[in-house]
Amino acid sequence: MYTELKYIKTTIPKEETILRCKIEDVLSFVSLDPANSDYAEIMRQVDAGELTIEPADE
Amino acid sequence: MSKARTLADYVGGGTTATEFDVLDGLTSTTAELNILDGVTSTAAELNHVDGVTSNVQTQLNAKAPLASPALTGTATAVNLTVSGDLVPSTPMSHRNIIINGAMGIAQRSSVAFAHDGTIAGYSEVDRYRLETDSLGEWDGTLTQHDMTSAELNTTGFAKALKLTTGTAESSIGSNDIAYITQKIEAQNLQHLQYGTASAKTVTLSFWVKTSVAGTYSVGLYKSDSSARNITATYTTTGTGWEYKTITFAGDTDATATIVNDNGEGLRLFWNLASGSTYDSSENTSWHNYANASFAGGHAQDGIITTASATFLLTGVQLELGSSATQFEHRSYGDELQRCMRYYETSNGNLWGYPITLQTGLTYRRCPIYFKVRKRSAPTTVTSSANVTVTGHQSVDIDGFTAYFDAIAQGNYCEVSYWTAYSEL
């Protein structure tokens, strides 16, 4: 369901990070909010070793 | 010769035999006759008890007084006009805890569930979701159904949620399960007072039509703190629309508290199929969650094991109290606003052009503002007719910004479509 996961970091207009991925093959941006059900499920799968997230470019 | 005539002859005087004949056949005692002593009622007044077959006072005692009657049963009336205040114990408006109970809002396009190992997701009809586990073959669709005139006549609803099985599951294994659910936000459920001695009873009502007759289960699941759940069963004939009502007691257990936040508070679910792992024991009262009772009582798996089988649902209402009331119809616009808290889309229309390139920056930015504040910072999707969206930023409950690399892709760019969702 979740593929091509990568953190995206931006600095303008403010420094922030978001999670870019494909959900059912659709490019999506997932807020790093524990109440976001996608983020919660992704982190559950990461913790279970089923998913990995590519770190943000420096 | 009658005894009266003999008596008249004996007494003589002014009493006639006819007058004494009136006493002929009299069996009453003096005491019984004396009961009439002092009676002032007229014959017409005494005739008012004509036809009385039981104690009048007992009957009167059973009647409600005009002043401040305390009715204990269900009162019915053809019409009711109230000149003073009407104070019901359950709400007269905003009764329905369920969003999109009439299935009228369908912001997504037709939803098909391919068998890709994980079969779960939101349906074409807003707020309703399919959940499955361990199905090895099944695929199908979850769409909005347009009611025929006859169906509208029967149910009073113009739309329904329709699950259609494509490829059937050949058999239901012990760990298989499939159900349709609506997850209800916790802060909308605090008035149920779960976890306290005052926990409220709720009643679920819905119209259902299944192509396979049998016994199905429906239930509530609470995930907060200690997980709890309760189920009930209903039967369908497999021949047409049927109206069902089910009452669930309030959960007074100390662990039943629904945390007052924007997370999932309760999950209302209709089971479609369940293996023995999930339906091996009944669960008609609230208790700590156990797999074995999640679908307690569910018996008919045919919707999932029969190609082209259908399960239709509409008129879903969950309300306080032990009786189902008439469905609370809300306007399309009102219901759409409620749905947009969880899912909002630009509906395929051109949204806008990005703000002019700032000096020294290579990106163009297109701010997007939601019509309805989201439950949480959402997941966002955009598409553009002529460029690739580089990224999203400042994604929050009120909107987000899509940005493009104008140097790499040219200055002309647009957001032609966006979606934001913060489903439970």
**Is B376 within 8 Å of A36 when comparing Cβ atoms?**
yes
Q: Which of A37, A41, A44, A50 to mutate to test the interface with B (most CBs of B within 10 A)?
A: A37
Q: Are B25 and B4 in contact (CB under 8 A)?
A: no
Place of tokens 């941006």: A29
Give the other-Cβ count within 10 Å of B266's Cβ.
27
Tokens of residue B310, six digits: 């259908």
pLDDT in tens, B188-227: 999 999 999 999 999 999 999 999 999 999 999 998 879 9
pLDDT in tens, A5-45: 999 998 777 789 999 999 988 999 999 999 999 999 999 99
**Is B377 within 8 Å of A1 when comparing Cβ atoms?**
no
* Least CB–CB distance from A31: residue in B261, B379, B381: B379
Confidence of residue B119 (pLDDT cuts 50, 70, 90): confident
Is residue A3 within 8 angstroms of chain B, CB to CB?
A: no
- Chain A residues within 8 A of B360 when measuring between CB atoms: none
- Sign of the Cα pseudo-torsion (A31, A36, A38, A43, in order): positive
- Sign of the Cα pseudo-torsion (B375, B376, B381, B384, in order): positive
Provide the shortest C-alpha distance from residue B233 to chain A (in Å). 30
pLDDT for B74 beyond 90: no
pLDDT in tens, B96-113: 999 999 999 999 986 777
Rounded Cα–Cα distance for residues B88 and B228 (Å): 30
Choose the weakest-confidence range: B23-37, B147-161, B338-352: B338-352
The DSSP H or E segment spanning B46 is: helix B43-46
Provide the shortest C-alpha distance from residue B75 to chain A (in Å). 45
Nearest CA in chain A to B363: A12
- The runs of H, that is alpha helices, within B174-285 are 276-279
This complex has an ipTM of: 0.94
Provide the shortest C-alpha distance from residue A42 to chain B (in Å). 12
Q: Which of A27, A32, A41 to mutate to test the interface with B (most CBs of B within 10 A)?
A: A27
Partnered with residue B252 across adjacent β-strands are none
Entry pTM: 0.84
Confidence of residue B408 (pLDDT cuts 50, 70, 90): low
pLDDT in tens, B227-286: 999 999 999 999 999 999 999 999 999 999 999 999 999 999 999 999 999 987 778 899
**Is B377 within 8 Å of A31 when comparing Cβ atoms?**
yes
Q: Are B131 and B137 in contact (CB under 8 A)?
A: no
The proportion of chain B whose per-residue pLDDT surpasses 70, expressed as a percent, equals 90
The proportion of chain B whose per-residue pLDDT surpasses 90, expressed as a percent, equals 66
Nearest CA in chain B to A38: B379
Distances (CA, A) of B329 to B93, B104, B298, B319, B326: 10, 10, 30, 13, 9
Rounded Cα–Cα distance for residues B14 and B17 (Å): 10
Provide the shortest C-alpha distance from residue B116 to chain A (in Å). 9
pLDDT for B388 beyond 80: no
Residues in chain A: 58
Of B418, B384, B379, nearest in space to B396 by CA: B379
- Chain A residues within 8 A of B379 when measuring between CB atoms: 23, 28-31, 36, 38-39
Q: Which amino acid is at B165?
A: T
Helix (H, G, I), strand (E, B) or coil at B178: strand
Residues 8-27 in A contacting B (C-alpha not used; CB under 8 Å):
8, 10, 12-14, 16, 18, 20, 23-24, 26-27
Provide the shortest C-alpha distance from residue A4 to chain B (in Å). 14
Q: Which amino acid is at A12?
A: I
> What is the structure's pLDDT at A55?
96
Rounded Cα–Cα distance for residues B68 and B88 (Å): 15
* Least CB–CB distance from B392: residue in A12, A18, A35: A18
Q: Is the peptide bond before A13 cis (omega within 30 degrees of 0)?
A: yes
Provide the shortest C-alpha distance from residue A14 to chain B (in Å). 8
> What is the structure's pLDDT at B409?
65
- Chain A residues within 8 A of B376 when measuring between CB atoms: 31, 33, 35-36
More confident residue, B418 or B309: B309
Is residue B392 within 8 angstroms of chain A, CB to CB?
A: yes
**Is A37 within 8 Å of B423 when comparing Cβ atoms?**
yes
